[in-house]
Structure 1
């Protein structure tokens, strides 16, 4: 991966290096403790790709957008593209980072909704981390080690083997995540739910109401309500609001004004935006910025 100039005054963006190994390989793996100026750099940063962190040792706080999580052995952290991250390390962190571009899986499975099938990615209403029992964590690390070993002697067909192991790992992690937070774990649930999740990521700034999405998806409001409640535990409108609030908080973190956010997120005027934010969070945008 490479580091880019600061996107704002303080936030850096890291992009994937697809030809690091002399051929295009859209997945990489490394030890957390040796990737200096990436995960151990205390500056604010974000990734343009997906990442899974496996914490074996260490202590501290890892912040993802406005959510803080405790770093401890057995912790697994999931990052989706664009989320703002920050490390506050109290004791040296050791473990693995596994990161990849979406095309590494999309091109093989021919499914642009594939990564939305896993509950932990593009998650804005539940934690982006989980604590695994020692035995289960060790089983996941075995798969990680297998991927690491393949990188030590890459062959022409290595991408296929790595992709197969990654798929197995993603499914295993999804089962544990769903069990931890009492969610639907089956990745073969109704495709309209995944279509809604993917569409929401693209359209949340322009469309704030459920009916707009039912029209774009060409499904009935009743069906969308039922699917969202069944597979996420939230209503469709709650999912829309949770996504909006998550991104608005990020904009406030970047110190954007109410006027700028009103325009960017399609609110009719700043007062309407202020009312929406306070209703959902219990605080005004200015109060939230003061807390930051």
Structure 2
């Protein structure tokens, strides 16, 4: 099966300009689509009733509900589904994952993105979560429900989230240290613990997630800093000390570089 040339590929955008997360019941008018890409977001399609085929980058898969279809932002896809179609469509932009105060959401999104199709033994649990998500407006509740949705969808997969913590890859071992130990603002500290060089650690991270070791550590540090600023009464100086920055000024410059805000400004949001 041929994939259309780049000039022929339509790019769909189902998002409002400022939205980072969206869920809606499947639109029955879109049961048959032509090849297209998405405008910078991950699409998860949870189907409870239909049949047909789904094609991603030229690879065709039979659709047998209940199932979850996963379309990454760079992929070209289309489907032919038989009416009636029942289910939900979830759209997730990268900043939603990056700005989440729950570090497990990033891991779960990374894990679900390994797949293009996940057959489900039952759709009842995900159906209930989808209904709750469509009516929820509280950002923290949305994160919690979405986390539960992903964890349940991945429950029966061989590469489950539990195995991410026990994997023997250098990147996974690095992530395990970041999860289990107090964060230290120095890649060399973790390279020494893993008995490798900073260069090797960065290569492993780059191969796994496309980020250097410093960038992976920076994401964790910023997430942890946001949690401490949001959930605790620690001063900015105390947060800087907790994250092993040399002083408050150094921490503030680091935080602003990655967020565009000073720690004090973030706390006032």
TM band (smaller chain): 0.5 to 0.7
Spell out the pairing of 1:111-130 with structure 2 (5 A cutoff). 114-115=106-107, 118-121=110-113, 123=114, 127-130=115-118
Q: Per the alignment, do residues 195 and 81 of structure 1 end up closer, same or farther by CA in structure 2, a change over 3 Å counting? A: farther
Structure 2 unaligned blocks of 5 or more: 175-195, 209-269
Q: How many residues were matched structurally?
A: 179
Larger of the two Rg values belongs to structure: 2
* 1:31 aligned onto 2:21: no
Q: Do the aligned partners of 2:104 and 2:147 also contact (CA within 8 Å) in 1? A: no
CA distance in 1, matches of 2:104, 2:118: 26
Q: Do the aligned partners of 1:52 and 1:76 also contact (CA within 8 Å) in 2? A: yes
TM-score (norm 1): 0.52
In the other structure, the counterpart of 1:138 is 124
Q: Do the aligned partners of 2:45 and 2:89 also contact (CA within 8 Å) in 1? A: yes
CA distance in 1, matches of 2:52, 2:129: 26
* 1:86 aligned onto 2:78: yes
Select which of 31, 35, 42 maps to 1:44.
Answer: 35
In the other structure, the counterpart of 1:272 is none
* 1:155-193 superposed Cα distances (whole Å, 9 cap, x missing partner): xxx1221111111211222222x2xxx334324456843
Select which of 64, 76, 81 maps to 2:68.
Answer: 76
TM-score (norm 2): 0.55
* 1:84-116 superposed Cα distances (whole Å, 9 cap, x missing partner): 111123444221101111211211238699257
Q: Per the alignment, do residues 130 and 60 of structure 1 end up closer, same or farther by CA in structure 2, a change over 3 Å counting? A: same
CA distance in 1, matches of 2:8, 2:198: 37
Structure 1 unaligned blocks of 5 or more: 1-5, 197-213, 229-292
In the other structure, the counterpart of 2:159 is 183
Q: Do the aligned partners of 1:59 and 1:92 also contact (CA within 8 Å) in 2? A: no
What's the Cα RMSD here? 3.6
In the other structure, the counterpart of 2:145 is 165
Q: Do the aligned partners of 2:31 and 2:83 also contact (CA within 8 Å) in 1? A: no
